[in-house]
């Protein structure tokens, strides 16, 4: 799954993560389509939505993409904001999963994602980067009983991955690399250190994403 980067420079993003702030610029979704073209489905494009634009912008192009990303960290719009709900409603129309990263900020926390997920039970959500920070075991508690919320594990400590496999089950855990900001071998090493059974690794690294994208229906 590929989402657009470069919407905001990393120095500004890191400052926004700490102090708050936002940009209103669009992501380069055309570059994502170009990067995925010709890969025979190995790279799958997600639409990085700008909540400052009307949801019709996403709807007009949704058929070109396989999922939606919304980012409170980049655009500063909370998950509890009606504009995000409008985008998720479009995702529901196109059977798109929704990827997001939560922040310890009003309206943008994991509890707010849970509220959004309950509002749209027909939509699958992916909580990115193992929750908030590197050791967010509390996020696992919050999403444990929410079957339409999966966890993507890039960035988190090995103990979080291990706890996620135990509490959520391997069927709700997704391998993620966060490339190019993180080298894939770093994220692969976490799973190698855990020495999980091959059948669990297949779920995390392949089957769950396959199911999330509706490939089983094709």
pLDDT in tens, 24-46: 999 999 999 999 999 999 999 99
Q: Is residue 191 part of a domain?
A: yes
To which H or E segment does residue 173 belong? Answer: strand 173-174
Residue 97 lies in a domain: yes
- Burial per residue of 164-194, b for 16 or more beta-carbon CB atoms within 10 angstroms, e otherwise: bbeebebebbbbbbbeeeeeeeebeebbeee
| Averaged pLDDT for residues 205-209 | 97
Region 108-132 average pLDDT: 99
The reply to whether 209 falls in a domain is yes
User: Which of 202, 145, 144 has the alpha carbon at shortest distance from 170?
Assistant: 202
According to DSSP, residue 39 is labeled S
Whole-number Å distance between alpha carbons of 79 and 34: 29
Q: pLDDT exceeding 90 applies to what percent of the chain?
A: 88
pLDDT of 200 > 80? The answer is yes
Q: How many domains does the chain have?
A: 1
5 in a domain, yes or no? Answer: no
* CATH number of the domain bearing residue 127: 3.20.20.140
Q: Show the domain range for 140.
A: 10-217
């Amino acid at each position: 799954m590929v989402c657009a980067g470069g919407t905001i420079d990393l120095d500004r993003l890191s400052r926004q993560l700490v102090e708050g702030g936002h940009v209103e610029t669009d992501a380069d979704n055309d570059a994502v389509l170009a990067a995925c073209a010709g890969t025979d489905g190995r790279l799958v494009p997600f639409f990085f939505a700008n909540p400052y634009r009307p949801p019709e912008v996403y709807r007009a192009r949704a058929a070109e993409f396989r999922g939606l990303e919304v980012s409170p960290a980049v655009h500063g719009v909370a998950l509890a904001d009606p504009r995000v709900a409008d985008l998720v409603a479009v995702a529901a129309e196109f059977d798109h999963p929704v990827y997001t990263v939560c922040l310890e900020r009003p309206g943008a926390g994991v509890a707010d994602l849970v509220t959004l997920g309950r509002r749209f039970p027909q939509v699958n959500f992916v909580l990115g980067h193992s929750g908030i920070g590197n050791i967010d075991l509390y996020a696992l508690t919050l999403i444990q009983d929410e079957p339409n919320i999966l966890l993507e594990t890039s960035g988190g400590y090995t103990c979080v991955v291990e706890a996620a496999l135990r509490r959520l089950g391997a069927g709700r855990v997704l391998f993620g690399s966060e490339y190019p900001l993180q080298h894939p071998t770093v994220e692969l090493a976490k799973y190698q250190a855990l020495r999980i059974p091959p059948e669990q690794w297949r779920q995390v690294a392949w089957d769950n994403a396959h199911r999330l994208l509706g490939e089983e229906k094709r």
